[in-house]
């Protein structure tokens, strides 16, 4: 496992403190440019290689047998992580996720057992309509997270993550290195239409069945 301090810009204790405070309070926390630039660039480069190799597949909605393509709802392509065969870049991101899981369990007693996740690429003109991450027939997803890998992103490029919070809509620009954590069953969210190819990671911390 890679050292957390070599992967993120915040001290480990501060990262965990802000994470716990945000989830215990408004139910979400935004870390502007959490990942070190060289780590975000490494992950972006890997995503581009995987895209060029045809590893991404059109994403669907629903779970299991009910999963289906729905381009009017979402238009991204995804490449899922294989926990037993993580690449070096994925392992660095995994170090952040594991530190987050341990911190949330220690302070919030959430009983998070594992995590799952995928890379996502949104072509220009695509989006993901408002939704919750927890499935109606599966309550394991407890905390969601999104990381962004888009250098030199501007407001004109669109593609914001919009969260519906108790204080109103909160938009987060998908600037490279930025990370967001939020409660899967409490924060409806959407990806606004992007005008440039948009690279991200989406993950979920889960409890046992």
Determine the Cα–Cα distance for residues 191 and 38; give it in Å rounded to an integer. 25
Lowest-confidence region among 3-12, 119-128, 191-200:
3-12
The 8 Å CB, 24+ separation contacts for 100-103 are 100/15, 100/16, 100/19, 100/145, 100/181, 100/205, 101/205, 103/15, 103/16, 103/19, 103/20
Residue 2 has pLDDT above 80, yes or no: no
- Are the C-beta atoms of residues 11 and 5 closer than 8 Å to each other? yes
Residue 1 has pLDDT above 60, yes or no: no
Residue 66: predicted pLDDT = 74
C-alpha 174: how far from chain center: 11
Determine the Cα–Cα distance for residues 179 and 175; give it in Å rounded to an integer. 9
Residue 67: predicted pLDDT = 83
User: What is the per-residue pLDDT across 34-57, written as a single tens digit (0 to 9) for each?
Assistant: 999 999 999 999 999 999 999 999
In this structure, what DSSP letter does residue 146 have? Answer: E
Domains of the chain plus CATH, in order, are 4-59+75-206 (2.60.120.620)
Residue 62: predicted pLDDT = 84
Strand order in the sheet with 198-206: 28-31, 179-183, 141-148, 198-206, 114-122, 77-80, 57-58
**Average pLDDT for 127-134:** 97
115 three-class SS: strand
Residue 3: predicted pLDDT = 81
């Amino acid at each position: 496992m890679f050292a957390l301090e070599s992967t993120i810009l915040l001290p480990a204790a501060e990262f965990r403190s802000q994470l716990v405070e945000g989830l215990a309070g408004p139910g979400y926390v935004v870390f502007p440019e959490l990942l070190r630039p060289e780590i975000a660039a490494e992950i972006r480069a890997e995503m581009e290689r995987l895209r060029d190799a045809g590893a991404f597949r059109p994403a669907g909605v629903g779970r299991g047998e009910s999963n289906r393509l729905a381009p009017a709802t979402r238009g991204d392509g995804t490449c899922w992580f294989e926990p037993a065969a993580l690449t070096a870049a994925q392992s660095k991101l995994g170090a952040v996720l594991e530190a987050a899981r341990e911190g949330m369990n220690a302070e919030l007693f959430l009983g998070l057992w594992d995590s799952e996740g995928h890379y996502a690429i949104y072509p220009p003109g695509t989006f993901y309509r408002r939704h919750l991450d927890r499935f109606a027939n599966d309550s394991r997803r407890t905390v969601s997270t999104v990381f962004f890998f888009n250098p030199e992103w501007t407001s004109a490029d669109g593609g914001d993550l919009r969260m519906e919070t108790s204080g109103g809509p909160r938009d987060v620009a998908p600037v490279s290195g930025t990370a967001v954590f939020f409660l899967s069953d409490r924060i409806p969210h959407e990806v606004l239409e992007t005008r440039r190819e948009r690279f991200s990671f989406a993950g979920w911390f889960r409890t046992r069945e």
